[in-house]
Amino acid sequence: MSTITTKDGAEIFYKDWGTGRPVVFSHGWPLTADAWDAQMLFLAQKGFRVIAHDRRGHGRSSQTWTGNDMDTYADDLAALIEHLDLKDAMLVGHSTGGGEVAHYIGRHGTKRVAKAVLICAVPPLMVKTEAHPNGVPMDVFDGIRKSVVEDRSQFYKDLAMPFYSYNRAGAKASQGVIDSFWAQGMLGAISGQYDCIKQFSEVDYTEDLKKFDVPALVLHGDDDQIVPIDEAGRLSAKIIPNATLKVYAGGPHGMCTTMADKVNADLLEFLQS
């Protein structure tokens, strides 16, 4: 397996396929780089170099007790990009990975970045606050923490249903997709995944979004039951300078899997624009 070792000794697993202009993917919670298989295979076959890592505490990367915070996640991404000496990369982040991409740009700038894509991403801020009254109430995230502690395995099986909108009337659920979601989640560390809940819910990425100075594409499904579009994708597209927003009618949170052909086509078009 390909790994890098960070300054605090964590080993970060990554995939690196193909040749050409680099596209770097950051996955959502509680998943792994495998969540990007449909996009990576497609773009590698189109002549691009595709890279995706497992966030620390997730997948095949180190299960660190400390460092499960967005500053460190962004620094880990920077370490990977610098280790591979990537230039003119397009960064793509889904859900929590969108926060990671945003914070990377806010923290490390865009000297190695040409474009950025946020897909059903958590920025600018998920949790409800006085300054963000339309956010998700804190008790929702406390409930997620409770479920992870009490029965993480069953919770991930249950979470897959709204994640892919398989709970909607007439939806045809894929047991394979549900099993993959569960397997990816269970591969990670309960400690790291528990800590990560705060990072996708309570971190305010507004200032990071303001620092985007490269072309940005925001993709979001209007049936996202995990990260509601109005307070996430639509708001991020307003904050990011000159961002383009594309709304997927009926699109679920996990649309990179259930609507892979459309996502792939939009990524390719943006890469080539």
Q: Would you please indicate which residues are annotated as catalytic (active-site) residues?
A: 95, 224, 253
Nearest to 116 by CA among 14, 23, 47: 23
β-pairing, 113-119 vs 216-221, is parallel
113: left (phi over 0), alpha (psi -120 to 50) or beta: beta
Give the tokens for residue 85. 């000496």
**How far is it, in rounded angstroms, from Cα 191 to Cα 132?**
28
Cis (ω within 30 of 0) for the bond into 124?
A: yes
Specify the amino acid at residue 101. V
Cα–Cα dist 78/26, whole Å: 12
From 261, 233, 246, select the one nearest 39 (Cα to Cα): 261
Longest Cα pair distance anywhere in the chain, in angstroms? 49
Taken as a whole, the chain contains a residue count of 273
Helix, strand, coil shares of the chain, percent, nearest 5, are: 45, 15, 40
